[in-house]
Amino acid sequence: MAVTDAKTLPPETVSPRAADAEIESSVSVASQWQLMWWKFRKHRAAMVGGVVTLIIYVIAIFVEFLSPSSPGVIRADYTWAPPQQLHFFRQTENGMRWDPYVNGYKVEIDPEALRRTFVIDEEQIVDVGFFVRGETYEMWGLWESDLHLIGSTDAELPVYFLGADRMGRDLLSSMIYGTRVSMSIGLLGVFLSFFLGILLGGISGFYGGTVDNLIQRAIEFIRSIPTIPLWMGLAAALPTDWPPLRIYFGITIIISFIGWTGLARVVRGRFLSLRTEDFVMAARLDGASELTTIWRHMVPSFFSHIIASLTLSIPGMILAETSLSFLELGLRRPVVSWGVLLQEAQNIRSVATASWLLIPGLAVLVAVLALNFLGDGLRDAADPYNR
Amino acid sequence: MLQFLLRRLMFMIPTLIAISIVAFVIIQLPPGDFLTTMVASMAAQGEDMDQSAMRALEEQYGLGQPVHIQYLKWMQGIILRGDFGDSFGWNKPVAELLWSRLALTFVLSLASLLFVWVVAFPIGIYSAVKQYSIGDYFATFIGFLGLATPNFLLALILMYIAFKFFNQSVGGLFSPEYQEAPWSWGRVADLLAHLWVPVVIIGTAGTASLIRVMRANLLDELRKPYVVTARAKGLPEWRLLFKYPVRIALNPFVSTVGWVLPTLVSGAAIVSIVLSLPTTGPLLIRALLQQDMYLAASFIMLLSILTVIGTLVSDLLLAWLDPRIRME
Amino acid sequence: MDTPVLIEIKNLKTHFFLDEGTVQAVNGVDFTIHQHKTLCVVGESGCGKSVTARSILQIVDQPGRIVEGEILYHRPDRLSGVGLSEELPSPNGAGGSSSTEIIDLAALDPRGRQIREIRGQDISMIFQEPMTSLSPIHTVGNQITEAIKLHTDMLDDEADEHAIELLRRVGIPRPAERLETYPFELSGGMRQRVMIAMALSCNPALLIADEPTTAVDVTTQAQILELLEELQDDFGMAIMLITHDLGVVAEMADDVVVMYLGQVAERGDVESIFHDPKHPYTQALLKSIPKLGVSRTMQRLDSIRGMVPDPYNRPTGCMFGPRCDHFMPGRCDAINPPAIQLGDGREVHCLLYEDE
Ligand SMILES: Nc1ncnc2c1ncn2[C@@H]1O[C@H](COP(=O)(O)OP(=O)(O)OP(=O)(O)O)[C@@H](O)[C@H]1O
Ligand code: SF4
Ligand SMILES: [Mg+2]
């Protein structure tokens, strides 16, 4: 910016450091990713968010092995069974011994509601084991197995670490299976939006002029419509007789159809700003070839911003799916997502009887928080020179 | 200013047309036309529709004619006669169901907007001025939590708490005695007494993001040279803060209405369903589940228009606040 | 002949306390500003010129704080006590008023009443970027009359009148209409004139101008400097002018302070600095003037170093040591050169002159 007059002092007349500066400029390029990493590492919440996100995705990958049971298994005689607390040690004559167990249930009749309810029976003991054999499943649809990380050692006595729903289905297993669906919809939706966003944002930034104008108007339009009613309208149009997988993709497409606008803006803005950014100019003046310029300066900054925006878009997708499924306009059993599970909690009566039905909400909360923290940290780190 | 207003109104026209087209597409999306569905559902209830009535309906909606004719007929009805089509779920003209529900939605959304502003503005200022203080961290944390909690979940939790610990139900916008009563001061007071629960629930996420917006804006402004200029004049810190950076950070804050209002309207829809409030939400979802498309689409269209008008108002407010925009 | 002393800075140290460490932006600076005179401060980017200036008004940015030293303000009698002359001063400018009151600005509470009364009234400041230094959404009139209303008991229309008069003085055409315009409607040069009008609104004893012409084009630059000189004759204030431009120094200065890495390298009257520079850094600066065409790559280097300064890793001994042609191993890297008086108010911080 500074207008430099010929008389202005060039301070470097006295500068043996000139050579250093040259070296510095090449070093600083190589270490841009590293700078970002340093910056990111300082962001404590983002680090925690990153680790939690990683754990959630690992859970999503090993769903079959991690869950004690399958989400579809109905046990009508365990309606709304409350959570059983896992004990690791058992009291014996010679002190505490490693022997995981839970207490069993006994049935009581609720005198007011005239309904059978389960209560924990301290007398009863159900043995729990790690790496137990249980229901068979197909791991990733590839091979059969019946190994579960944790579960009841007795096939006749199911365990409900987080309780059961109206049909006696295990909430923990459902939630673990739901992790895969909810998290993958987020990821898939973001990639779809990203594709749309890159395409339209790129076109917008590349052609400029009328095309840019039209696309920008369209984006503004989509953003000015309240999303949930629109999603509801579109989701309701999905035929009810579609197979679950197709519904899954349909919902993902509907969600990303509205979600792409934010990313398109980021992409366009990045494209535009990249062209004018000072450091690119500096590199140009330096005589570096165009390609090296792009590779060294534009790519890291572009990608880091995009990755940050992608991360920050996932929570919106997850929340959208959760809301739609909760309203019974989204996914349906046998597909389970956290939103599908929350359907069970739709009326106050079931929530009052079985408050654990709200636990899948906690999963949503943790996932969204973790992704937000992670994305925030990434965004800060994407500007390593800022502040 | 008048010119500005006219220009904005002009810009709104294509948006409104686009909204009506989207709504019409939603009507058209389900397989089969609505008359077939209607006949089928009436047949299911053991009623028959006489041929002349069917003819009349076919004529009115332009069924069997090209899609754009149908669209134009629908629009014509709305614009000329305020006729949004019929709801077969209720066997009534949509217009009869629409307005009272819409009015309450409007009240609810507006109240939420006010709530969001009134809460986010001071907290945002505090957070920026006392950056990195305990209060700032606390506000940031609560903000993140508010953003991460889907509002229907918040509604469920509140309902659960109210039910479990206070043995109260928090649903609805009116006490039973005012449910069907005509409007009176008592009914208004009753509405206000019930309104705050959904308003807080709907507003939480918006408040959280606006706190962050205000904080970031103000932090930006606090670093601007004009603050130093004002300080160099000898202005006391507090007067300086409110006259310059806060006042200037207010502009982008006001302009957030553009996206906050749609989220609030969205939130109102879903929270109303959970809390069964007599707004558009519950009716909309029922209409969608029953494929009562004229009703559903009319709701979606009017909610969108409501949002667009709200955004227009905020644009005007912004132009009034910011000479750079007014004179552009 | 020297006029009475206005500001006396003694061993000023202003440091920034960052997470990464402490930046010693100003580290032991001494100099004096005389009434009605112009003092120019020169030095490379980042050497602490702005921080010094801001220290005088106690408006250093947040993690920064004056940690040591005195800034003695010899308050002219006319400013002591409350009321201000409501007329613009008559164009005499000459002679110095005596002063009785001496205030140590460095010891005042930065948010306190006392310093606030001095800001904008006794000492005012104009900045490099006239666009961002004015609020974009307040009218010119509003921003000019603000200080007037704050420091005097003029009523609204009196203040407006005064503002119009000031705008006329700084050469703004149709000043009455300008009161209602916004800064973004003015050109860069006009904005800087508004800034000057604003700064002079209470007839200060000292005007600090921090690179006031960097952001405007060359013609405007000349006009603004000329205006400042004229106004100095009219208003009789002292000027502390911070600049990169030795040409400006030659044109404007009575006295010069050359700064290097937060310290004074050399100071003296403009004649002797230009004709007989003592400090190797000053010599290098002056030598660089004739080299005209060089600049392109050089300026780039400057900007790279400016972006990544290394304020944490200061050299030991003489700050200029690593770049000095006369570096004396064993001495220059061991001793921080003290102020060496060369007579005639000249002072140099270099061990070469230790024996003289
Ligand atoms: N707000 C701040 N926070 C941290 N360090 C600062 C801040 N302001 C200035 N500094 C440090 O103080 C040193 C001196 O800065 P100063 O602005 O006084 O330089 P300058 O001589 O005015 O340079 P320029 O000619 O570029 O205006 C710089 O090295 C800078 O790193
Ligand atoms: S003290 Fe030594 S290093 Fe410093 S300027 Fe003088 S000769 Fe050069
Ligand atoms: Mg400076």
pLDDT range class, residue A3, cuts 50, 70, 90 = very low
Chain B: residue nearest C144 by CA?
B233
CA angle (A25, A30, A33) in 5-degree steps:
120
Is A286 in Cβ contact with C216 (below 8 Å)? Answer: no
Residue B177 burial (C-beta neighbours within 10 Å; 0-12, 13-18, 19+)? exposed
Hey, which residues does A145 pair with through a beta bridge? Answer: A137
Provide the mean pLDDT of chain C: 82
The pLDDT of residue A30: 46
Q: How far is the CA of B284 from the centre of ligand 1 (A)?
A: 60
Per residue in A244-299, pLDDT tens?
A: 888 888 888 888 877 778 777 777 776 666 655 555 555 555 665 655 655 566 66
Per residue in C282-320, pLDDT tens?
A: 888 887 654 444 443 343 333 323 333 356 667 778 888
Three-state DSSP state, A103: strand
Mean pLDDT of A16-28: 42
Q: Which atom of ligand 1 is nearest to C211's Cα?
A: 27
**What's the gap between Cα C213 and its chain centre?**
13
The pLDDT of residue C45: 83
Is A3 in Cβ contact with C216 (below 8 Å)? Answer: yes
The pLDDT of residue A28: 47
The pLDDT of residue B137: 87
- Beta carbons within 8 Å of A292's beta carbon, 6+ residues apart: A283
Hey, which residues does C256 pair with through a beta bridge? Answer: C40, C268
Residue whose Cα lies nearest atom 12 of ligand 1: it is: C25
The pLDDT of residue A227: 80
Does residue C328 have its Cβ closer than 6 Å to ligand 2?
Answer: yes
Is B156 in Cβ contact with A345 (below 8 Å)? Answer: yes
The one-letter amino acid code at B4 reads F
The one-letter amino acid code at C230 reads E
How much of chain A, in percent, has pLDDT values that exceed 70?
Answer: 79
Is A327 in Cβ contact with B266 (below 8 Å)? Answer: no
| C43–chain A nearest CA distance, Å | 8
Residue C197 above 50 pLDDT? yes
The pLDDT of residue A376: 81
Q: Who has greater pLDDT, A71 or B126?
A: B126
pLDDT range class, residue C13, cuts 50, 70, 90 = very high
pLDDT range class, residue A220, cuts 50, 70, 90 = confident
Q: How far is the CA of C15 from the centre of ligand 1 (A)?
A: 10
Interface test with A, best of C219, C301, C313 (most A CBs within 10 A): C301
> What does the block give as tokens for B120?
């986010």
Element (H, E) at B93: strand B92-93
Mean pLDDT of A113-140: 73
Predicted ipTM?
A: 0.82
- Which residues of chain B does C118 touch, with a Cβ-Cβ cutoff of 8 Å? 234
Per residue in B226-280, pLDDT tens?
A: 999 999 998 998 899 999 999 988 888 888 887 788 888 888 888 888 888 888 8
Three-state DSSP state, B315: helix
The pLDDT of residue A319: 87
Closest Cβ opposite residue C305 in set A4, A21, A286: A21
Contact call for residues A204 and A211 (beta carbons, < 8 A): yes
pLDDT (tens place) for every residue of chain B, 328 residues total: 778 788 888 888 888 888 888 888 887 777 665 666 666 666 666 666 667 777 776 666 666 677 777 788 888 878 887 777 777 777 778 888 888 888 888 888 889 999 999 999 999 999 888 888 898 888 888 888 888 888 888 888 888 888 777 776 666 777 777 777 777 788 888 788 778 888 988 888 888 888 888 888 898 888 888 999 999 998 998 899 999 999 988 888 888 887 788 888 888 888 888 888 888 888 888 888 777 778 888 888 888 888 888 888 888 888 888 887 777 6
Positive or negative, the CA dihedral B288, B294, B299, B305 is: positive
Residue C14 above 90 pLDDT? yes
The pLDDT of residue C209: 92
Residue whose Cα lies nearest atom 11 of ligand 1: it is: C25
Residue A157 above 80 pLDDT? no
Is B322 in Cβ contact with C59 (below 8 Å)? Answer: no
Residue C352 above 80 pLDDT? yes
Interface test with C, best of A1, A4, A7, A387 (most C CBs within 10 A): A7
Q: Which chains touch B (3 or more CB pairs under 8 A)?
A: A, C
Distances (CA, A) of A236 to A15, A221, A331, B267: 71, 22, 11, 18
How many Å apart are CA C190 and CA C267, to the nearest integer? 33
Nearest ligand, CA C52: 1
Tell me which of A16-25, A65-74, B170-179, C329-338 is least confident: A16-25
- Which residues of chain C does A25 touch, with a Cβ-Cβ cutoff of 8 Å? 304
Contact call for residues C238 and C206 (beta carbons, < 8 A): yes
How many Å apart are CA A193 and CA B60, to the nearest integer? 39
How many Å apart are CA C343 and CA A214, to the nearest integer? 73
The pLDDT of residue A18: 40
- Which residues of chain B does A233 touch, with a Cβ-Cβ cutoff of 8 Å? 23, 26, 29, 288, 296-297, 300
- Beta carbons within 8 Å of A245's beta carbon, 6+ residues apart: A335
pTM of the model: 0.80
| B98 φ/ψ angles, rounded to the nearest 5 degrees | -70, -55
How many Å apart are CA C150 and CA B162, to the nearest integer? 54
How much of chain C, in percent, has pLDDT values that exceed 90?
Answer: 26
pLDDT range class, residue C51, cuts 50, 70, 90 = very high
Scan for tokens 């197995």, then name that residue.
A145
The pLDDT of residue A68: 78
The pLDDT of residue B254: 84
Residue A347 above 80 pLDDT? no
Is A5 in Cβ contact with C302 (below 8 Å)? Answer: no
Q: Who has greater pLDDT, A384 or B186?
A: B186
Closest Cβ opposite residue C245 in set A7, A15, A16: A7
The pLDDT of residue C123: 93
Mean pLDDT of A92-116: 71
